[in-house]
Amino acid sequence: MNQFFVLCVFAFAFAPTFEARGLFQSLTGSVKPGKCPEPTRLPQPFELKQFLGTWYEIKSTKPVFEKDLRCVQANYQLDSATGNVVVNNSGVYVSNNTIFTVGTAKTTKQDNVLSVKFLPYSPAAQYWVVDTDYKGYALVVSCNNVFGLFNFRDVWVLSRNPTLEDATVKNLVAKLDSVGIKDTQLFDTLQNC
């Protein structure tokens, strides 16, 4: 409980700074009260090898670490030595500088839920593939509980191409309510690179 108190004090103390940079809005959009919903399984077993490769971000909750980025992509490759997935996320800032973040994803007991880490001492984050056809689209959710009081949740609509048909996007977004990810605002990701 002391950790929660320190986190709240930190958040309120630095809220004006975050707000000045637009970060506070990004952060609060991802924070929801209560616990995360239990991840659902896909109708068929998840095929990790088919999921590997490059995905373009079409829509997302715009997590704080993606602020001011366009042309966001994720590339997943299997590390045959460890069996883990190497995650290489990239995006382009307004200044046209490309940034890369490399992490590791590990399988969990549930085949369509991975555990992702980008820094050695950071906690792992959930990576839940809610829906995919492997060839065209994917809907991914990350929801992580904090002391059982609130959670951080983010959503990504991904495509194998820089664009995705509007009807497919609407169908994917509509699935969020049915898996317990309600009242989530998604923003378009510019793919003009």
> What is the model's pLDDT at position 31?
87
> What is the model's pLDDT at position 11?
39
In a structure prediction context, what are the per-residue pLDDT tens digits for the chain, which is 193 residues long? 333 333 333 333 333 333 344 444 444 457 889 999 999 999 999 999 999 999 999 999 999 889 899 999 999 999 999 999 999 999 999 899 999 999 999 999 999 999 999 988 888 999 999 999 999 999 999 999 998 899 999 999 999 999 999 999 999 999 999 999 988 899 999 999 9
Question: Domains plus CATH for the chain?
Answer: 2-188 (2.40.128.20)
> What is the model's pLDDT at position 164?
98
Per the DSSP assignment, residues forming a β-bridge with 134 are none
Cα(193)–Cα(189) distance, integer angstroms: 12
Cα(74)–Cα(90) distance, integer angstroms: 6
Are 102 and 121 within 8 A, CB to CB? no
> What is the model's pLDDT at position 20?
41
Name the DSSP letter for residue 14: H
| DSSP string for 127-165 | EEEEEE-SSSEEEEEEEEEETTTEEEEEEEEEESSS---
189 sits in which H/E element: none
3-state secondary structure of 3: helix
Cα(140)–Cα(180) distance, integer angstroms: 13
Structure tokens at 17: 């700074």
Structure tokens at 170: 């609407």
